[in-house]
Structures are given as C-alpha cells and as structure tokens.
C-alpha cells in the first residue's frame, strides 16, 4: 500500500494521484449512521501536515469528506445511497424559501475567521447534540461529547476556517469549512436549538455560499453527503443548481438529470 504522504509527491500527475487513491485502505464494516439495519465501509486516509490545498482539492473532487485528521468516503458493498453533493457557486440562486430565510435572519451577523475553540462553543455544541440526538443524553457524558467536538472540528485545521453567527453579542452558531483550490467544503455546523424557527442550518449554508462567491478562485461549495428521500439529508437538493458525484461513473453530474 502506498503511504499517505505520497499524495503530496504525486498530485501533479493525474495518473499518479488516481493510483494513490485506488490504494488507500478500506475499513472493516461499521454501523451505518443513516440506516440502522445496514453496515458501512469507508475508504480513508489520515491527513499529513504537508498536505497542501491542491491535495485537499483532490480529496474534495473525489467526494471525500474530512472529520478531524481523517479524509473518508463511503464504499459500501450493497448500498450506494450516500452521494456527495456540491453547488456551482456562480450559478446558485436562492429560491423563495431561502430568500425568506435570509430576510428572517437579516439581523444576524455572519463572520469568517480562524478556528478557535472556546468554552461557550463547547457548551453550545453539547446543547446542540443533546437536542438533535436524544439518545446521547444517556449514552455519552459531556466530556465524551467534547472529545468528539475537539477531534471532529478542531483537529487538523491547516486548510480550514471557522464561521460564526451572532445575534447581537450572543454567539448562536459556528461551523468549520475546508478550503481547497476551487472548492469550499462544509465540515460541520452547530447552532442554538432555541433558534429552531430561524432555520439557522440553512442560513449558515446560504451565507457561506455568499461569502465564497466573493473569492475568485472558489467554484464549488460541497454540502457533504446527499441521501435521496432521507429526512436528514433530502433538504440539500433544494440548493440548485446542484451536482452529485454519480455513484457508478464517479463523475460530477447535474442532479436534475439523475433524480
């Protein structure tokens, strides 16, 4: 097996980089996060300190996600439901519902800066996870959740920025975004569940697109995995025009020709 840091040596050769990706390790079967009765398999690579933005872009172009220091993509044997989804930034136009969201939240401030974990963010993360995953209340302690926060969002941020949203002086949301040479990838967003009616998850995506549109080199924003019909993922197709990495051809294609 080729070692991970050979990505840095070979990224200028398309044939070379494809060979490296084909030889990355594959995990054993683990419980699927989206379908309780299914098993998931990941192809993965641990990030190296000498990865540059071009290497990061190669991962994003091939549909990889990052969590902490791990780049991964699903390669399940019997299921191809997890599909990477991205938005061409220059072509995106908010629909009527998204425009209402922006109007509703016009008083909220959106900023982008360097990743910075704070006690307030830790408490907001715990509050957010508890509200979305009720089983976490009994299964995991606060300290365990904070370990997840640290490893998922604040480990290996060499090519990352952090978005924050404030209502006045109150921090009500934050998230990590990765930056490649052409692609912005949304790693994970957290927001105050007390603002549920404000649709802050949608708002953070909309403002991230707006921010990325001002950076000439960025062409796409990736929203992670799209699962058609899944209640937690189906909202992504409302961001149009959209492209999916076709599970069979492994090429980015307009979602309208697929669904």
Query: Is-cis flag, bond preceding 241, omega within 30?
Result: yes
pLDDT at residue number 4: 46
* Tens of each residue's pLDDT in the chain, 259 residues: 344 455 555 444 445 677 778 889 999 998 998 888 899 999 999 988 888 899 899 999 999 999 999 999 999 988 888 999 999 999 999 999 999 999 999 999 999 999 999 999 999 999 999 998 765 455 789 999 999 999 999 999 999 999 999 999 999 999 999 999 999 999 999 999 999 999 999 999 999 999 999 999 999 999 999 998 888 888 899 999 999 999 888 899 998 755 5
pLDDT at residue number 138: 58
All domains in the chain, ordered by first residue: 6-81 (no CATH), 85-257 (3.40.630.30)
Give this prediction's pTM.
0.89
pLDDT at residue number 21: 84
Containing H/E element for 168? none
> Any idea what the Cα angle at residue 94 is, between residues 172 and 196, rounded to 5°?
30
For residues 223 and 236, the answer to whether their CB atoms sit within 8 Å is yes
pLDDT at residue number 18: 74
Please state whether 139 falls in left (phi above 0), alpha (psi between -120 and 50) or beta.
alpha
pLDDT at residue number 234: 85
Nearest to 181 by CA among 10, 58, 28: 58
Cα separations (Å) of 2 from 5, 157, 215?
8, 24, 35
């Amino acid at each position: 097996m080729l070692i991970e840091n050979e990505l840095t040596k070979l990224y200028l050769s398309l044939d070379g980089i494809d060979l490296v990706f084909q030889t990355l390790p594959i995990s054993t079967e683990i419980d699927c996060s989206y379908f309780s009765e299914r098993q998931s398999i990941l192809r993965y690579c641990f990030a190296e300190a000498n990865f540059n933005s071009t290497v990061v872009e190669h991962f994003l172009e091939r549909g990889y996600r990052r969590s902490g220091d791990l780049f991964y993509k699903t390669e399940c044997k019997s299921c191809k439901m997890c599909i990477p989804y991205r938005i061409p930034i220059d072509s995106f136009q908010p629909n009527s519902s998204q425009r209402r969201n922006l109007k509703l939240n016009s008083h909220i401030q959106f900023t982008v800066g360097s990743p910075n974990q704070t006690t307030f963010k830790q408490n907001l993360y715990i509050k957010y996870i508890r509200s979305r995953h009720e089983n976490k209340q009994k299964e995991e302690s606060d300290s365990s959740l904070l370990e997840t926060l640290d490893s998922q969002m604040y480990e290996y941020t060499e090519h990352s920025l952090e978005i924050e949203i404030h209502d006045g002086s109150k921090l009500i949301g934050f998230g990590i975004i990765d930056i490649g040479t052409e692609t912005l990838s949304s790693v994970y967003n957290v927001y105050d569940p007390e603002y549920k009616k404000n649709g802050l998850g949608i708002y953070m995506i909309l403002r991230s697109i707006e921010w990325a549109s001002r950076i000439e080199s960025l062409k796409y924003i990736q929203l992670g995995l799209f699962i058609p019909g899944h209640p937690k993922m189906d909202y992504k197709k409302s961001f149009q025009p959209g492209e999916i990495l076709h599970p069979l051809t492994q090429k980015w294609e307009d979602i309208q020709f697929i669904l």
